[in-house]
Structure 1
């Protein structure tokens, strides 16, 4: 089986570049943008050797996992472009739900797998990290912004020793190939990218994201650099910042950081 776009993605004008193996799909996408590619275009492989996640952490996808990046060149500010990550989370959650249902039907199973979105850019299953999302952006000719959204999903294997315990679809009993997941993801991306609408639809994206948010209303700790904020995960605001409500009722917006459910002091040391 080979990687193919879903029918909705094809009709929306998306194109596809596939690799048997590559260092980083994000790097491939951004290099093409620097050379004049304007997308929208997917870059996909089932074996990535030099990928990276947030804060330059390595994100290696052994053969059978899904490493995918979408290039969109758009007329928005970097702050607005950053909210596209929430649409990416929704797209991946929808694709995972669809392939899980199909896999369950094939195996005559009845379990309904639930996936949650962890601020700012992870997908969890059973409290474990299943996928991560990384946005990168660069200015290109015409005062436009080349935005690359990298989406890495543990299909057959998960890394060990990560700050947040990781899992894979195979470990969860969801027997699906990277190619099948990608076809669903490409269609779901076209759907939620349309809702996002260059940031104009972020209100709806925000509402849908909060419905799937991990830890909402629960104790949370956020570490950014040498500082920590602890309280209750209250919501995300209109810019996508995490709002932490402290014990005294103060609501603190957080624009970046590592989120731990429970105490940042104890979890952050893990």
Structure 2
């Protein structure tokens, strides 16, 4: 196993790391640890993940060579603040890979994808559960297509190797864990959300582009105006109205993937 290590920033922050050759789901392992009373601040890294999952119950495949990791944090925050933790992950991953690729090749698609040359490179899944003492257990899973991208997807996908960057998954993780310390400190349990969102907007895909958002059986179409102070997508409708969207299936412009 190409076992990663934590860098100086992560170690100084007291972050821990547990590595697995094969695991069902790093998110599941992290949440089980939270239920057992773990204080948080720990990464779960797997070389192969056999039962990974994405948003809305989708499967997320992690063959050997790709990256799968989840981070557990126990916090005193309201659910609304907890929901913004996903922006930490997207921004940290963008920062980590910007040191390896030209930054203009990378973009963040709302709410939780990192795009490489307009194609989906990674997925992020945030799960939250209330602890017995009233605190919130936040588990955020990150999958990156390092050596291979899944076939037969209904949207464009990318891998780092396919883009000409033959980098080991362990190195991607190590860079992510270092960037995470900086962005999580900026977020500061939601108190620094405005700064995080400002940085996120600077990396956003599709700003000003046509967008459609599917909400159950209903679809809204218009222009992607940006995100508001709480991280919600703002859609400018053709009739001049505006829609603020908390969650949905987003499709916009050629610079973004066709589905989350």
1:180 to 168, 171, 177: 171
2:137 to 134, 146, 149: 146
Contact 1:5 1:187 in 2 (8 A): yes
Aligned residue runs from structure 1 range 240-251, under 5 A: 240-251=231-242
Contact 1:222 1:260 in 2 (8 A): yes
Please name the residue that 2:200 is paired with: 209
SS across alignment from 2:123: strand
CA shift for structure 1 position 112: 6.3
Aligned residue runs from structure 1 range 101-250, under 5 A: 114-250=105-241
CA shift for structure 1 position 165: 1.6
Q: Let me know the Cα RMSD of the aligned residues.
A: 1.4
Q: Does residue 53 of structure 2 align to residue 52 of structure 1?
A: yes
d(CA) in 1 for partners of 2:90, 2:137: 19
CA shift for structure 1 position 262: 4.5
What TM-score do you get using the length of structure 2 for normalisation? 0.95
SS across alignment from 1:33: helix
d(CA) in 1 for partners of 2:15, 2:229: 28
Contact 2:123 2:142 in 1 (8 A): yes
CA shift for structure 1 position 113: 6.0
Question: Structure 2 unaligned runs (5+)?
Answer: none
Question: Structure 1 unaligned runs (5+)?
Answer: 101-110
Contact 1:99 1:181 in 2 (8 A): no
d(CA) in 2 for partners of 1:66, 1:42: 13
SS across alignment from 1:149: strand
Please name the residue that 2:99 is paired with: 98
1:22-78 per-residue CA deviation (whole Å, 9 max, x = no partner) reads: 110000000000111121000001211100000010001000000010000000012
SS across alignment from 2:50: coil
Q: Does residue 30 of structure 2 align to residue 20 of structure 1?
A: no
Please name the residue that 1:31 is paired with: 32
Contact 2:232 2:244 in 1 (8 A): yes
Contact 1:99 1:176 in 2 (8 A): no
d(CA) in 2 for partners of 1:60, 1:130: 13
Contact 1:26 1:150 in 2 (8 A): yes
d(CA) in 1 for partners of 2:225, 2:154: 23
